[in-house]
Amino acid sequence: MEDLNKPKTDNHELSAKISNFIQSTAWLNLNLNAGGAIIKIGSNNFIRKGLGGGFYYLYGPKIDYSDFKTNFDKASLPKNCLFIRLEPLVMTPTEIKTKVLVPSLSIQPRKTLINNLKLETLDLLKSMHSKTRYNIRLAEKKNLKLINDNNRIEDFIKLLKLTSERDAFRLHTPDYYRRLAKLDSDFIKLFLVEYNNQVLAAGLFCFYKNTVTYLHGASADKDRQLMAPYFLHWQIMQMAAGEGFAYYDWYGIDDRKWPGVTRFKLGFGGELLEYPGTFDYPLKPLLYKLYKIGRSLRRLF
C-alpha cells in the first residue's frame, strides 16, 4: 500500500496529462451560490463568492498558476474583492513559500490516485493489490448487473444516506446530487450495481475529455460478500478504457479523514498525485486579517 505521509513527489507531468473537470464551465455553474458568477483570469475560471457587506472573494479550483501569474491584473478587479483563493495544479517550492500567498484550509482533496487506463487489462490488474484482484474476480462470478440511469438518483441518495451513517462522513444536500444527475448525461453518469433487483452499490462519475473521475459512491450493508463496489469500479474502468479514456481519477484520498474509503481506493493501485494545497492571495491585507479573525471565532461556536 502507498505511504500517504511520504515526501511529495514531482507531479508536474501527471497533472498536465489528466483533464481537470473542476475548471469546466458546467461544473463551476453547478457550484455557484446566489449572486455568484464566473470570472476569467487568463485561461483560468474563478467563482465569485459573497462575504457580506458588499465584499466578495474569488475561488479558483485547480488552476494553472503560471497562467494566473502572467495574466493577473489587480487593478482590473472591482475594489470590493477582498482576496483570491487559489488551488494550483502545480507550484514550485519557491512559489509555495512566497510571502504573497497565505496557506488556507483545503477545499478540494489534496491527494488523489490516478489509474492509467492505457495499460493492457492484465497489466492494470497486476498494478492492484492482490486482495483487490481477488475481490474483482469473485464479483465477476456473481450475477451482478451494471446499470447506467441518471433518472434513478433517488435510489442513489437513499443508499448514500445509509453509507454515510455507516462510515461517518458528511453529505451534500439531496438537491445537490439531484442537480448533478440533471447535468449532461455524457458529462455526469450515475451507475448502479444490482443483484436480484436490489441496489448493492452505486456511484456518480464525471466523464470529461480524457479522464473519468469518481465523484460520490455508496454501498449497501447486505450481501457485502458479493463485492459489488469492486465490480462497479472495475466495470467502469474497462468501459472507460474501451471508449478511449486515458485516466481514472479517484478524486480524493486521506487516511486520517476517510481511512476505510482510502484503504479501498489504494487497493486499486494507481499513481499518487498530491496537489500543492490551498492559498489565499489577499488584495486588502487589513480587511483580510479581520476576515480571518472572524472566521476563527465562528469555528469556536
Same domain? For 86 and 157 the reply is no
Same domain as 90, residue 129: no
The candidate with the shortest Cα–Cα distance to 114, out of 238, 231, 17, is 17
Q: Does residue 203 sit within a domain? A: yes
- Write down the residue that cell numbers 492484465 correspond to: 122
The mean pLDDT of 264-288, rounded to a whole number, is 95
Angle at 47 between CA 42 and CA 50, to 5 degrees: 135
Residues 194-209: tens digit of each pLDDT: 999 999 999 999 999 9
Tell me: do 270 and 281 sit in the same domain.
no
**In a domain? residue 165:** yes
CATH code of the domain in which 210 resides: 3.40.630.30
Beta strands in 151-265 (DSSP E): 188-195, 198-208, 211-219, 247-249
The tally of domains found in the chain comes to: 2
- Per residue in 132-178, pLDDT (tens digit) is 999 999 999 999 999 999 999 999 999 999 988 887 778 889 999 99
Q: What confidence tier does 98 reach under pLDDT thresholds 50, 70, 90? A: confident
Q: Could you tell me if 255 and 195 lie in one domain?
A: yes
With CA atoms as reference, report the closest residue to 22 among 112, 150, 142, 102.
112
Residues 293 and 239 in one domain: no
Domain encompassing residue 100: 31-108+277-300
Let me know whether 95 and 124 are in one domain. Answer: no
* Residues 75 and 164 grouped into a single domain: no
Same domain, 150 and 97: no
- Are 131 and 206 in a shared domain? yes
> What's the whole-number mean pLDDT along residues 224-229?
97
Q: What pLDDT score was predicted for residue 299?
A: 67
pTM of the shown model:
0.91
**17 part of a folded domain:** no
